[in-house]
Structure 1
Amino acid sequence: MQISLVDLVILLIYFLVVLWIGYYTMKKISNFSDYSVAGRTMPFALIFATIGATLAGGGATVGRVSFVYDIGIVVFLALLGVVISQVIIGFFIAPRIREMENVHTIGDIMGFYFGHSGRLVSSIFSFLFMIGMFGVQALALGRILEPIIGLPFLWLTLIGAVITIVYTWAGGMLAVVYTDAIQFILLVGGIATATMIGVIKMGGMSNIIDQAALIDTDHLVLFGGPWTVSIFISTFLTFLLGEALAPHYIQRYAASKSSRITAWSTVSFAIMYIFLTIVIMVIGLIGFVVFPKMNGDLVFVNFVLEYLPIGIIGLVFGALIAAVMSTGSSILNTAAVIFSKDIYGGLINKNADDKSMLNWAQYATIFVGIAGVGVSLFIPSVMDLMLFGFKLWAPSILPPMVIALLWGGPAERKVSPHAAVPAIIAGLLVTILWLNILKEPFGIPAIVVGIITNLIVFTIVHKLTIHQVKEELTLSKGAVK
C-alpha cells in the first residue's frame, strides 16, 4: 500500500458517493428517455459540467501528461485543435442537434438524413468506437490505481471498470450527469492544486524550464523539435476532428433544456479547456525533469505520490479517478443507448416497447464494459489507444454528418440519402490501408487521405443520385394528391 490511510479513506468515500448516486437515480428512471437523455431537462451548469467531465477523461489527463513527457510542449499546439473544434461545434452544430426532434443517438441523426442503411452503418461503427474508447478509460483507471494499491494492473483495471459499470447500469444518463457534476469539480480543483504545489516545490516555472532545457532543449520547442510538419498536422487534425461529434457528446447536446444552453455550455468549456491543457503541460514537464526513463502513463500518478501531502493525495487521486470514470460512464451509457435503440430496436426487434429498450440498454452497458476492458489489454498505452480510435472516427462518420447538419435547417434533407454509407466505408478502409499497411507514405497523414476519400465518394454518389431522389419525392407527393 503506497498511500496513507487518510488518503485511502477519501478515495473510498468518493467511490461510495458515486455508487449511492447510481442507486438514487435508479429510482428516478421510469422510461428509455430518462435513461438515454435525462428527459431533456438539464440546465447550463450540468451540461457544462458533463461536457467538461467527459472531454477531460483518462486520455486528457493521464494520456496527455504522458504525451508531453514523451514529446514536449509542442503537444500544446496540437491540443488546441480540441478547443477550436468545440468552439465551432458549439456555435454552429450542437444547437442544430438539440433542435432536432426525438434525438437520442447518432443513429437518429444519420437515419433522418440517410435512411435505414445510414442509421445502421453509423450505429454499428459508433458502437464499436465506444467500446474502444471505454478501453481507454479502463486502461487509465488501471494505471492510476496500480501504484496506489499495489495490486496487479489487470485486477485494478477490472475493479475500476466494474464500479463504473455498476453506477452507469443503475442510473443511466441521470447518474452520469449528476456524477459528472461532482467529478468535474474534483477534477479542476484537484489538478490545479497538484500543479501549484508541484511548481512551488520545483522552485517556480523558470526553474522547471531551465532543468528541462539541460536534459533536452527540443522538449521546449513550441513548433518543430521532435515532430516533422506532417506529424504535427496529423496530430493536430486528430485532436481537431477525432472526437468531434462523438456519440457521447450527441447525447449531451440533446439532453439540455434548449439549443441556447447547448451552444454556450459547449463553447464555455472549450475556452476553459485551454487552462486544463496548460496545467497538464506543466505536470508533464515536471515529470520529464524528475522521473527520467519512466513509462509515460505512470508519470501523473508518481508525480502526485512524490509531491503532494497527505490528504491532498487522496483528493487529487479522487480527481484523477473522477476524470476517468466520468468519461467512462458517459461512453458506457452512450454505447448502451446506441445498441438498444439503433441495433436492437432498429434491426433485431423493430416492435420493441419502451421497457424492452430500457432492459437492453442495461444489458449492453455490461457487455460494453467487458469488451472495453478486453480491448485495453491489446493496446496497453492510453494515448496510443485513444489516438487510434480518433484516427478512424474522423474519416468515417464525421464528414457526412457535418455536411447533412449544416446544409439547410435541422429539419431539412438536402443531401442524397444514398451518399453516406459508401463514403463512410471508403473513408474507413482507405484510412486503415494508408495507416496500417502503407505506413503513411510520402509523410501524408492517414487522417487527411481518409477524409479526402470520404468527401470525394460522398460528392460523387450525391450528384449521381440526388436527381433520382427528387423525382421519387415529386412522384410520391403527386400520388398523395
Structure 2
Amino acid sequence: MNLAAWTWAITIIACLFFLFMSFRFREKASSSFAQYAIAGGTLPFALILFTDIATIMGVGNFVGHAAKGYEIGMANIPFVVGEQGAKIVFALVFAGFAAKFSYNTIGELMNDLLLRDKMSRALIGILTACIMIAWIGGQAKGMGDLFAVFSGTDPLWMILFFSAIFILYTMIGGIYSVVWTELIQGGLIVVLGLWFYYQVFARTDFSFSTLQANLNEVGAGHLIAFQLSFAEVATLFITGCFGVLAAQVYWQRCFAAREPKSASRAMLYSGIVAIVFTSLTTMAGLVTKAENPNLDPNQAMPWLILEQMSQTTALLFFLLVFLAAISSAASLLHSAAVIIINDLVIPHTAGKTDNQYVRYTKWCVLLVGVFAIGAALWAQSIIGLFSMAYTMAGGGVIPVLLVGLLWKRKRQERFQMGMHNSRVSPWGARIGLVSGAICSVTWGILWGVLIAALLTVLISYFVPRKRDLAAEPTAPSP
C-alpha cells in the first residue's frame, strides 16, 4: 500500500479502538455526574500519570511548536518553559491541595472556598472553558493540516472526521474512556516521541554547533540567538504559565485522583516530560529551517517527515501525532463540557437528577465539539489560538485565585470543603476576573495580572460582602 492508504488504515483502526473503549465504560460513566466528570475521585497514580502525559503532549507540542521554532527560533523557548514548566509549578504548589477535595471544576473550588458568588463562578467557567475550546480547535486544525500532507485529502474533511470521532467517544464513555485509552496512548507517545527526536537530531549529528552552522548557510543564523528583552521573556513565560494554571483539565485530574500524593507526583513527572519534549520540538523546527528555509511554518514538520524520511518513519510519526491529538482533544472536550454544566447550568437549576446532568453533559460535549471545529477553521495557527486563550484565562482567573487563597478571613484555619475563608468579595472577584481578561488581551498579561490583583483587593476592601461587613467591630458611641 502507498502512504495515503496506510494513513487511512491506521486512522480507521485507531478510531474503532477508541469507540470500543467508550462503549465498554458507558454504563459506569453514566451512573452519576461525579462518575462521568471525575470518576468519583478513585483514579490511581498510573492512570493519572499517563492521562496527564497524553493530554499535555497534543498535536501542538509535536507540530505547533515546531512551526514556531521554524518561524522565530529560540525566541519560542520562554513560552515553552512557561507553558510546560507550569505543570511542574502546578505539581509542587496546587496538585496536592486540589486532590484533597472532590470538586468537579476549578470554578466550583473557588466558589466554595473563596467567593460564594454564582456570577463569579460563571465568569470563571467561561474563561477556563475558552482554554479547553482553543486547545480542542488546535488539535483538530493540526491533525487536519497533517493529514492533508500525508494523504492529499482536503484538511476540512479530515478536521470534520477527526472531530466526529473524539466527540462521539467522549460523549459515550466520559472520563473513563478518556483515561483508559490514554493509559495506552501516553505510553506510546513517550516511546514514539523519543524515537522521533532521535530521527530528527541525527540529521545534525546531535550537534548544536552543526545546527548553527547549517542555519548560517541559509541566512537564518539569527534564529539561534536569544535576542529578547526581559519584558518580552516575562510576558511569554507568564502567558504560558498562568494559562496552564487556569486549565481545568489539570485541576480535574487532581480532583479525580485517589490520593493527593498520586496527583502531585503524576503532574510533576508529566511536566518534566512535557518541558523536555516541547523544547526539543522547537529545536526540530530549526532543523527543518536549515534544510528548507522557504516553507510555510505550519508545514515545517510534515515536510521534514514526508520529504526527508522513509515511509515507515512517516507512518510512525503520523501515529504519534494522531495519538497525541485525539487523546488531548478528548480530554479537553470532556473538561469543557463539565465546566459548562457544572459552573453555568447546575448553579441555576434546581430539582434535577444526577442522570439528567449526565445527559446534559453528553449533549454539551457535542455542542462544544462543534464550536471547537469552528475555532479550528478560523485560527491562523495552532499556537496563536492557544496563546490568546491562555492570556484571557490566565490574566483573569489566576490573580483572583491567588488573592483569594492568600487573603484569608481566618489566617490560621486551613481551607476545607463547605467552609468559606477568604476576604475576596463578590464584586471584587467579578471586577478582577473581567478586568484581568480584558487588560491582558489589550495591554499584555503582565499588566492584566497586576490590574486584576489590585482591583480584586481594592474592590473587596471598599465593597466587602455583607457578612464580612456585619462581622467587623463597630466603633463605640461617643
Do these two structures clear the TM 0.5 threshold for a shared fold by scoring above it?
yes
Matches for 1:76-95 after TM superposition, within 5 Å: 76-95=77-96
- Percent identity, aligned pairs only, is 22
Specify the code of the residue in structure 1 equivalent to 2:421.
R
Aligned residue pairs: how many?
Answer: 459
Q: Please give the alpha-carbon distance, in whole angstroms, between the structure 1 residues aligned to 2:151 and 2:472.
A: 67
Q: Please give the alpha-carbon distance, in whole angstroms, between the structure 1 residues aligned to 2:365 and 2:34.
A: 16
The Cα shift of 1:228 comes to 4.2
1:199 alignment counterpart: 201
2:269 alignment counterpart: 268
2:415 alignment counterpart: 410
Distance 1:131 1:350, change over 3 A: farther
2:440 alignment counterpart: 431
2:350 alignment counterpart: 350
Specify the code of the residue in structure 2 equivalent to 1:208.
L
Q: Please give the alpha-carbon distance, in whole angstroms, between the structure 2 residues aligned to 1:136 and 1:410.
A: 36
CA contact (8 A) 2:128 2:246 kept: no
2:61 alignment counterpart: 60
SS at match of 1:352: coil
1:461 alignment counterpart: 459
SS at match of 1:395: helix
Q: Please give the alpha-carbon distance, in whole angstroms, between the structure 2 residues aligned to 1:190 and 1:355.
A: 40
CA contact (8 A) 2:246 2:394 kept: no
CA contact (8 A) 2:134 2:385 kept: yes
The Cα shift of 1:48 comes to 1.3
The Cα shift of 1:167 comes to 0.9
The C-alpha deviation readout for 1:263-307, integer Å capped at 9, x for no partner, is 111112222223213421332122111232212222222222234
CA contact (8 A) 1:39 1:255 kept: yes
Distance 1:94 1:208, change over 3 A: same
Q: Please give the alpha-carbon distance, in whole angstroms, between the structure 1 residues aligned to 2:371 and 2:453.
A: 32
Specify the code of the residue in structure 2 equivalent to 1:161.
S
The C-alpha deviation readout for 1:87-132, integer Å capped at 9, x for no partner, is 22212212111112x3001221122121122212212333344323
Q: Please give the alpha-carbon distance, in whole angstroms, between the structure 1 residues aligned to 2:234 and 2:93.
A: 24
Q: Please give the alpha-carbon distance, in whole angstroms, between the structure 2 residues aligned to 1:237 and 1:284.
A: 23
The C-alpha deviation readout for 1:15-53, integer Å capped at 9, x for no partner, is 222222122121322221111002211111211111222
2:183 alignment counterpart: 181
The C-alpha deviation readout for 1:237-272, integer Å capped at 9, x for no partner, is 211222213111111111111111111111122222
The Cα shift of 1:82 comes to 3.0
Q: Please give the alpha-carbon distance, in whole angstroms, between the structure 1 residues aligned to 2:183 and 2:394.
A: 28
Distance 1:5 1:84, change over 3 A: closer
Q: Please give the alpha-carbon distance, in whole angstroms, between the structure 2 residues aligned to 1:371 and 1:78.
A: 26
1:440 alignment counterpart: none
Q: Please give the alpha-carbon distance, in whole angstroms, between the structure 2 residues aligned to 1:106 and 1:283.
A: 35
1:17 alignment counterpart: 17
The Cα shift of 1:318 comes to 1.4
2:38 alignment counterpart: 37
Distance 1:377 1:117, change over 3 A: same
Which consecutive residues of structure 1, in runs of 5 or more, have no partner in the other structure? 435-445, 476-481
CA contact (8 A) 1:22 1:175 kept: yes
CA contact (8 A) 2:403 2:453 kept: no
Distance 1:63 1:42, change over 3 A: same
Matches for 1:75-154 after TM superposition, within 5 Å: 75-100=76-101, 102-112=102-112, 113-115=114-116, 116-154=118-156
Q: Aligned Cα RMSD in Å?
A: 2.2
TM-score by length of 2: 0.90
SS at match of 2:244: coil
TM-score by length of 1: 0.89
The Cα shift of 1:325 comes to 1.5
1:391 alignment counterpart: 391
CA contact (8 A) 1:136 1:385 kept: yes
